[in-house]
Structure formats: C-alpha cells, structure tokens
Amino acid sequence: MLGIISRYVMREFLFTFLVSFCFFFIVFFINILLVTAEEVFTKQVPTAEVARLVLFAFPLIISYSLPFATLLGALMAVSRLSADNEIIALMAAGIPLRRLFLPLAAGGVLLSALSFASNDLLLPASTIEFSKVYRRIIYTNPAVELEPFSVKRFPGTAIVTGDLNGATIDAPLIIDRTDAGESRVITARSATLTGSGAQAGVISLHLRDVFAHIAADGRPDTHEYLRASSMEYNILLRDISSSMVAIGPREMSSIDVWREIQRMRERLQSDDLRRMEEISVERYRLLREIVAAEAVVAADPGRLDDERDRVGEIAARFERVARRTVSKRDLVNYELEFHKKFAIPLACLAFVGLAFPSGLLARRSGRTFGFIVGVAVCFLYWTLLFFGQTGALRTGIDPAVPIWLPNGVVLTAAGVIAVLVRSR
C-alpha cells in the first residue's frame, strides 16, 4: 500500500519537476543565447561554432536549473495533491505526513547529487571545450572581441574603443608600456582591425592620425611625444584568448578550488609576516630618530623645527607602512565559489523541506498556487545569494555566511510553516 502511494507521489513530483526544469532551462538558455550567441552571430561567426558554444554552456544551465526546478516541482506537486483533498484522504486512511514526505526527500537527495555532479564534474570539462571553441573563433574572426564603447584588457595592454563600424573603430585609445617599460598612451582618429599576413597568431590595428605620449618612469618631468599619419599596432591572439577565456574558480572542480585556496592562504600569510617585519623595522627606526632628535634639540634648541620636520617624515612613512593591507579579494572570490559548489546543490533538499509544508496550505488552484509561490521563493533566494556574494567581496566578511544564509532562511521558513500547519 505504502509502496503504491510513494510511487504515486513520486510520479506526481517527477512530472511537475520536468515541467519546471524545462521552464528554468529555457530561461537560462535564452540568457546564454543572448549574451554569447547573439554577440558572435552579429560578427558573422559560422552557425556551427555558435551551436558548439551554446552546447558547452549546458552544464552551467543544468547546475542552476536543477535546484529551482526541484522547488517549483515539489511545490506544484504537493499543492495539487492538497487542493484536490488527496492528502486529507490519505491522512484519513491512517498514513502520516512523514510517509508522504519521504519520496520527495529521496528525490531531493538524488537531485542534489545530480546538481553537484553537473557543477563539479561536467562544468570544468565543458569550460575547457568552450575555451577551445572560443579561441578558434577569435583566431578566425578577431573582431568578435571588439565592441563599441568598451574597454578590453589584455596582458600589459588596455584598449578603449569608440563607435564600431564593421572592422573600423572610431577614436581608439591604447594604454600600454614600451619595450623599456615606460608608460605609453596612444590615440588615433580611427583604426581598422586586420589579420597580419606576415606572422601567424597576430592581428593588427591600422591606426590613422596617431598621437602617442610616453612618460619615463621615475622621471616625472621627462615626456616624449609622437605624431604620425599612420601606425601598425600588433596584438598577439594568445593574449586575447587567454584573457577572455581564462578559467576561474567557478569552472574548476571543488578539489582544485580548495587546493588553490590553500595556496592563496599561504601566500597571504607570508605577505602578512613580511608586512609585520616592515612595521617592526619602521617602528625601531622611528624610535631611534626620536631619541636622536631629542639629543640634538637638547644640545642646540634652534634646530627644533628641522628635527621636527625630519621626524615627521619618518612618522608619516611608518603610518603608511602600518596602514598597508594585503589584498584578499581573490581569496574571498575563490572561497565564495567553493561554498557555492555545495550550497546550491544542497538547496534542492532545503527547497523540498520548504515545498512540502507550503504546498499543504493550498486550497484551490493547486499548481497555480505552487508556481506563484515557487517563483517568488526562487527570486528571493537568488537575490539573497547575489547581494550576499557582492557584500562579501566588498566588506571581507566570512564567505561562508552569505552563501549558506539563503539555505538557512529557506530551512527556517520551512520550520515555521511546518509548525503552523501542525497547529491547524
């Protein structure tokens, strides 16, 4: 009897889950299509290459669709059973609510595992293939990476573009360094992007009406200026591809991310120790100079102002060293992504825990009620996750707190609603 009921509940859940999964998959798919495919379509990239890009983005879409589809599917299933009084009939037959919850919990465990596998195994592999395809597109059509009124950063170079007409860029600005390491700013009336026939793996910007300004490092009063009717500026395609398709923590497995976190912590600890040594040296120097200044002023009171200025400069240097901080932004970013690799898949279980008591509140229009409530909860969850991640990057709080907070809010809400349902 219970086996039949469990299969019935599971069948209802699987049906609504598949419908919900298709809904979220299409939403995320359209977003990927608009961000990636539309951009390369307008640059006349072959349709087959665009299709490959979209195909290798599927694991990312799946990893985000599974948790939200679990919530929506469970809510719609339980709401439908509750609105049709089937749950009341089962309870009247002596079947407790916890037995009805078990098949949903089992489904939540399975979907959490699938979401984790998609995020931790499929996503890194697909990102590597995505990078290969994108790199091939760039080599055959470098204009893909140039957009109007944007800033493109490459290793050692930044290019600011104006309006873009075909392969012609209006009013480009290039910031880089010369072979001697001097800062250089190049402006031009226009530039045309072409492939370099002389050397493979290089594209050229043909600049017209060029003005270049070179500032010698360490010599602020020395500047060089250059004017030319035209200039050829070469860019290595490997610099473009490596900067645009670099693999970050989101595209790495959890084990690789954790190893990188440990390496970053060791480097930061070493930097902190070096900073503390600098502070100790500057503190000793400051105290020594203060003692020396007191001796000088005691022997010659007329040198008080000179000694005060000299000690003031040393004190300012000590203050600058003491205030110097080691940047931990990259470490926080990696820690955020590490926790997300576990928190988002486990949200499947948290969503099932919320969906079951919430669905029992439905009295009519069961699936409609579940859909509306589910979409609202998904929006709230994503909002908390987004602002929590942004806040952690800005404030430096423990990354685990903002990432696990949405799951905690969902479970707390599930407990409160469960108590209300039991008290009715």
pLDDT given for residue 140 in this prediction: 61
Distance CA 314, CA 311 (A): 5
Q: Are residues 316 and 268 in the same domain?
A: yes
Closest by CA to 344, choosing from 114, 35, 32, is 114
The backbone region for 377, taken as left when phi is positive above 0, alpha when psi lies in -120 to 50, beta otherwise, is alpha
Residue 250 belongs to some domain of the structure: no
Question: What is the domain extent for residue 319?
Answer: 255-326
Q: Does 292 share its domain with 349?
A: no
Do both 278 and 236 map to the same domain? Answer: no
Same domain for 113 and 80: yes
Same structural domain, 40 and 132 = yes
Is residue 342, in this structure, part of any structural domain at all?
A: yes
CA pair distance 230, 209, nearest whole angstrom: 6
Residue type (1 letter), 366: G
In a domain, 169, yes or no: yes
Q: How far apart are CA 72 and CA 7, in angstroms?
A: 19
Asked if 285 and 365 sit in the same domain, the reply is no
Q: Is pLDDT at 133 greater than 70 in this prediction?
A: yes
Q: What percent of the chain has pLDDT over 70?
A: 79
Range 228-238 average pLDDT: 78
Please give the pLDDT value at position 412: 92
Instruction: Please identify, among 276, 297, 326, the residue that sits at the C-terminal boundary of a domain.
Output: 326
pTM above 0.85, yes or no: no
CA distance 119 to 59: 7
Q: Kindly report, residue by residue over 187-221, the tens digit of the pLDDT.
A: 888 888 765 444 555 667 788 899 988 876 555 56
**Tokens 């110097």 belong to which residue?**
324
DSSP helix/strand/coil, 388: helix
Mean pLDDT, range 369-397, rounded to an integer: 85
Q: What is the pLDDT of residue 239?
A: 55
Highest mean pLDDT, choosing among 66-75, 162-171, 243-252, 395-404: 66-75
In this structure, the answer to whether residues 153 and 203 fall within a common structural domain is yes
Q: Are residues 39 and 99 in the same domain?
A: yes
Q: By the 8 A CB rule, do 163 and 150 touch? A: no
Q: Is the confidence at residue 404, as pLDDT, over 90?
A: yes
Position 366 pLDDT exceeds 90: no
* Same-domain pairing of 272 and 192: no
* Identity at 46, one-letter amino acid code: P
pLDDT value, residue 217: 59
Q: Which range (32-46, 155-169, 263-277, 371-385) has the least confidence?
A: 32-46
Given 215, 244, 273, the domain boundary residue is 244
Amino acid, single-letter form, for residue 405? L
Kindly report each contact of residues 29-33 with a partner whose C-beta sits within 8 Å and lies 24 or more positions away, as own/partner.
29/54, 29/61, 32/57, 32/60, 32/61
State the average pLDDT over residues 124-139. Answer: 73
In-domain check, residue 249: no
How far is residue 104's CA from residue 211's CA, in Å, rounded to a whole number? Answer: 68
In this predicted structure, what is the pLDDT of residue 197? 46
Among 115-119, 223-227, 344-348, whose mean pLDDT is lowest? Answer: 223-227
Cα gap 366→83, rounded to integer Å: 5
| Residue 380 banded pLDDT, cuts 50, 70, 90 | very high
Select from 414, 253, 396, 270 the least CA-distant residue to 333: 396
pLDDT value at residue 198: 45
Tell whether 106 is covered by a domain: yes
pLDDT value, residue 202: 65
In-domain check, residue 236? yes
CA separation for the pair 48, 398 (Å, rounded): 44
CA 364 to chain centre: 41
Which pLDDT band holds residue 351 (cuts at 50, 70, 90)?
Answer: very high
Mean per-residue pLDDT for 346-364?
Answer: 86
> Is residue 175 a part of any domain in this protein?
yes
Q: Does residue 25 or residue 245 have the better pLDDT?
A: 25
Q: What is the percentage of the chain residues whose pLDDT exceeds 90? A: 9
Q: Do 135 and 34 fall into the same domain?
A: yes
Q: How confident is the model at residue 238 (pLDDT cuts 50, 70, 90)?
A: low
Position 370 scores a pLDDT of 80
Residue where a domain terminates, one of 270, 293, 326: 326
Number of domains in the chain: 3
pLDDT score, position 61: 85
Q: Could you tell me if 11 and 130 lie in one domain? A: yes
Could you say which DSSP state residue 181 is in?
S
Provide the mean pLDDT of the chain.
78
284 and 375 belong to one structural domain:
no
Helix ranges (H only) for 253-365 are 254-299, 304-323, 329-359
pLDDT tens by residue, 80-121 = 888 888 888 877 777 878 888 888 888 889 999 988 888 888
Nearest by Cα to 31 from 57, 63, 70, 69: 57
- Res. 317: pLDDT tops 60: yes
Q: Give the pLDDT of residue 70.
A: 92
Mean pLDDT of 242-250: 60
Q: Name the pLDDT band for 350 (thresholds 50, 70, 90).
A: very high
